[in-house]
Structure 1
Amino acid sequence: MARLILSECCVLTPLRMRGRGGGAIALPAPPHIAAGSRLPAPAAIHREWALRVSAPTRLTSAVEEEDNRIRSHGGEEEAVSPLAANGAAAEAAASDAFDPGAAPPFGLAEIRAAIPKHCWVKDPWRSMSYVLRDVVVVLGLAAAAARIDSWLVWPLYWAAQGTMFWALFVLGHDCGHGSFSSNPKLNSVVGHILHSSILVPYNGWRISHRTHHQNHGHVEKDESWHPLPKRLYNNLDNMTKKLRFTMPFPMLAFPLYLFSRSPGKTGSHFNPSSDLFQPNEKKDVITSTASWLAMVGILAGLTFAMGPLQVLKLYAVPYVLFVMWLDFVTYLHHHGHEDKLPWYRGKEWSYLRGGLTTLDRDYGWINNIHHDIGTHVIHHLFPQIPHYHLVEAVISHPSFLLF
């Protein structure tokens, strides 16, 4: 995470894609497939391609492989006959013939067709029940912490409330995608309330997030957390490098991103004239910026009424933890660490290929709190699916079990 740089001349072509540990990965059969039986041919193709693309892979350069081979023989190259070398190369090609630049052997329509129809249904009452649940928890935590007012309790409150702020963000995120309900006005009202309450400009972020979904996996066009061309990285000032690419500062990057976007991009989520937005979106941006300013005004009033220390304890510290949650989770969903995911440019990129290079992450018991946002691959492919149907949409077909 500290150094996300991609050389301008490197398009993954000199690299070989391998599964973790370099070997095959055995996976259990889906629960609805009998033991010992074979998957249908299309499902097997989906599983193999999903394994190679959506699972983290290690990128090993040809030079690194050659160095490893020489070291394994005591620093001396082993003499190999041309015939043996050709045979070994053919065997390796047969066992590791995956081409990350090749188009998937299936289409988006095939995946869509495998998802049960009811998974696409948006129930506004059910969506609102999650909003009510989260708001009640947020207010209850704040009331309890303020009443107890003990330094033994405050750290526990900060961790819990910061996580709940993140849960509110995810629900507002669903409003932005239109997966909250089929009513655009309801989505907008709820989205503005939820996001403004945690100092996120709803429409400004919604539009830039749409750009991210439409271009994920594209080196130049993705909106955030994308590798930088080496030339661009070298031209950044030292302060920007420090804040954007050196831990722990990237864990606090979201507010900076809202005001100035990512390195190499210009514009602000608050400015209706920013190149982030189309001319017909200016009114939407003005509305969300005004809502954000209204929340700032509310916080200023609370500071005057309750004192700055109380607002710091009740709101500011949880807000910082929410930002850390957001940066942490969004990074994990779009990058490996030691194991990397492919990035594309030009004609190699497609919406399907970009969506398949996101990652699912299991957060244990927190999955339910932050509305299954860890089920991320199917969300990237079909952001219209409500969060409460994501898990079912994944397990509904063997092709998704790798995601």
Structure 2
Amino acid sequence: MVDPKQVQLKKSVMPYENHERGISIRQMFNTLVPLAALWYAAYYCLSISYWLTLAIGVVAAGFVIRTFIIFHDCCHGSFFRSKRANDIVGIITGVITFVPYQQWKNSHAIHHATSSNLDKRGVGDLWILTVEEYVSASWLTKLTYRFYRNPLVMFGLGPIFVFLLQYRFNRKGARKKERMNTYLMNVLLVVTYGLLGWAIGWKELLLVQGPIFYLSGVLGIWLFYVQHQFEDSYFEHEEEWSYVNAAVDGSSFYKLPKVLQWLTGNIGFHHVHHLSPKVPNYKLEVAHEATPPLHKATTINILQSLESLKFRLWDEEGKRFVSFKQAKQHMKQASRIGKGKLGEPRAS
């Protein structure tokens, strides 16, 4: 049975689903133009100091994240009214961010439809095992999972694997339109960066683009990770799962300083975004402020978000994320209790 309060909460953000073409165009201008200028400045500074190039690259990586938010809105059809305009801008920004438009659009739609559903994991999300699943897994699965969840792997190797390798191939079962779009994106990447390498030199291209690509990839994975991996998150099996609860309780409000909030396109208001993906990024904060029930979403700041690095497994019994160490202690305690019960004398 659908909870009327949840229906009402979803309806309460509907007035903010309308996109404004003027704001969208202005956002493209104040994102892509500075990014291009910063990229050129980083290249120009190669002849002065590579440290200066790297410093400029850090700022440029922030604008790549902002570019990705435009791409993200295009995937949801929330940046422009026109589907064609969303597709064109989505492909252009996809080349800049190294993300295939149709592939990500489809997998991300599945992520929104199944987020926090324990029975529908595996598409568009991070690999998450429950404590029970981990305990009963084979040694190889445990080793692989530990490797995958290690921060040095997820945030160190992750950007290279995901953005440079994984996204170059089609998903299993992808339809023709998605497959063709992935091929198109790969060709556009080769042409774009091939021309840049020809124009300025391959060494110079790698020295400038390499750090920008890598750092923006790290930041992108971090934002996706931290906004669903907080201690008292929300996960349920299909029969108990609720779309609204998954949005409000399973997505955090990542409260960032205003400059970082601007660079990340308000994606910190992730609970609002998951409640209604049609709300454009520039209206997420307004929707949050105007809807009191959304103020109850879990709020985390930068310092608090660092704690999420220790979370590895979902504890179904405790309804929270735990570390491997906490899971081990929990299982030992449960084992002792179980043995104690087995040793109890039977009633005569």
Q: TM-score, normalised by structure 2?
A: 0.75
The question of whether the paired residues in 1 share the 8 Å contact of 2:91 and 2:185 is answered with yes
For residues 334-355 of structure 1, give each alpha carbon's deviation from its aligned partner in whole angstroms, at most 9, with x where no partner exists: 011xx34231113011212221
Counterpart-to-counterpart distance in 2, 1:260 and 1:148? 29
1:347 alignment partner AA: E
Out of 109, 113, 119, the residue aligned to residue 7 of structure 2 is 109
Query: 1:257: Cα distance to partner?
Result: 4.3
Distance 1:282 1:135, change over 3 A: same
Distance 1:220 1:226, change over 3 A: farther
Q: Which has the higher contact order (CA 8 A, sep 6+)?
A: 1
Out of 157, 160, 165, the residue aligned to residue 59 of structure 2 is 160
Q: Is 1:359 the counterpart of 2:252 in the alignment?
A: yes
Out of 163, 176, 198, the residue aligned to residue 282 of structure 1 is 176
Query: 1:152: Cα distance to partner?
Result: 3.1
1:334 alignment partner AA: H
The question of whether the paired residues in 1 share the 8 Å contact of 2:168 and 2:182 is answered with no
Out of 246, 261, 286, the residue aligned to residue 150 of structure 2 is 246
Counterpart-to-counterpart distance in 2, 1:143 and 1:173? 25
Q: Is 1:378 the counterpart of 2:272 in the alignment?
A: yes
Q: What's the counterpart of residue 317 of structure 2? A: none
Counterpart-to-counterpart distance in 2, 1:104 and 1:398? 21
Query: 1:154: Cα distance to partner?
Result: 1.7
Q: Which range moved further: 122-131 or 167-176? A: 122-131
The question of whether the paired residues in 1 share the 8 Å contact of 2:13 and 2:276 is answered with no
For residues 112-165 of structure 1, give each alpha carbon's deviation from its aligned partner in whole angstroms, at most 9, with x where no partner exists: 333372x22111231121111111111111122222321231221121111111
2:32 alignment partner AA: V
Query: 1:394: Cα distance to partner?
Result: 0.9
Q: Is 1:227 the counterpart of 2:121 in the alignment?
A: no
What does residue range 176-325 of structure 1 map to in structure 2 within 5 Å? 176-222=75-121, 223=123, 224-228=125-129, 229-230=133-134, 231-232=136-137, 234-236=139-141, 238=143, 240-241=144-145, 243-251=147-155, 252-254=157-159, 256-257=161-162, 270-271=169-170, 274-275=172-173, 277=174, 281-325=175-219
Counterpart-to-counterpart distance in 1, 2:138 and 2:241? 22
SS of 2:254's equivalent in the other structure is coil
1:363 alignment partner AA: L
Out of 322, 330, 344, the residue aligned to residue 224 of structure 2 is 330
The question of whether the paired residues in 1 share the 8 Å contact of 2:159 and 2:214 is answered with no
The question of whether the paired residues in 2 share the 8 Å contact of 1:219 and 1:226 is answered with no
For residues 13-58 of structure 1, give each alpha carbon's deviation from its aligned partner in whole angstroms, at most 9, with x where no partner exists: xxxxxxxxxxxxxxxxxxxxxxxxxxxxxxxxxxxxxxxxxxxxxx
Please tell me the root mean square deviation across aligned C-alpha atoms, in Å.
Answer: 2.4
Q: TM-score, normalised by structure 1?
A: 0.65
The question of whether the paired residues in 2 share the 8 Å contact of 1:225 and 1:334 is answered with no
Counterpart-to-counterpart distance in 2, 1:293 and 1:243? 32
Counterpart-to-counterpart distance in 2, 1:145 and 1:187? 30
Query: 1:232: Cα distance to partner?
Result: 4.9
Distance 1:113 1:298, change over 3 A: closer
Query: 1:314: Cα distance to partner?
Result: 1.8
SS of 2:120's equivalent in the other structure is coil
Query: 1:219: Cα distance to partner?
Result: 2.1
Query: 1:193: Cα distance to partner?
Result: 0.3
Say how many residue pairs are matched: 286
2:255 alignment partner AA: D
> Bigger radius of gyration, 1 or 2?
1
Q: Is 1:151 the counterpart of 2:50 in the alignment?
A: yes
2:54 alignment partner AA: P
SS of 1:153's equivalent in the other structure is helix
SS of 1:173's equivalent in the other structure is helix
The question of whether the paired residues in 1 share the 8 Å contact of 2:197 and 2:205 is answered with yes
Distance 1:367 1:138, change over 3 A: same
What does residue range 126-137 of structure 1 map to in structure 2 within 5 Å? 126-137=23-34
Q: What's the counterpart of residue 234 of structure 2? A: 342
Q: Which runs of 5+ in 2 are unaligned?
A: 298-348
Query: 1:199: Cα distance to partner?
Result: 1.2
Q: What's the counterpart of residue 289 of structure 2? A: 395
What does residue range 73-92 of structure 1 map to in structure 2 within 5 Å? none
- The alignment-based identity, stated in percent, is 20
The question of whether the paired residues in 1 share the 8 Å contact of 2:10 and 2:275 is answered with no
For residues 212-266 of structure 1, give each alpha carbon's deviation from its aligned partner in whole angstroms, at most 9, with x where no partner exists: 000000124233124223245744385x4465121211014255346887xxxxx
Q: What's the counterpart of residue 35 of structure 2? A: 138
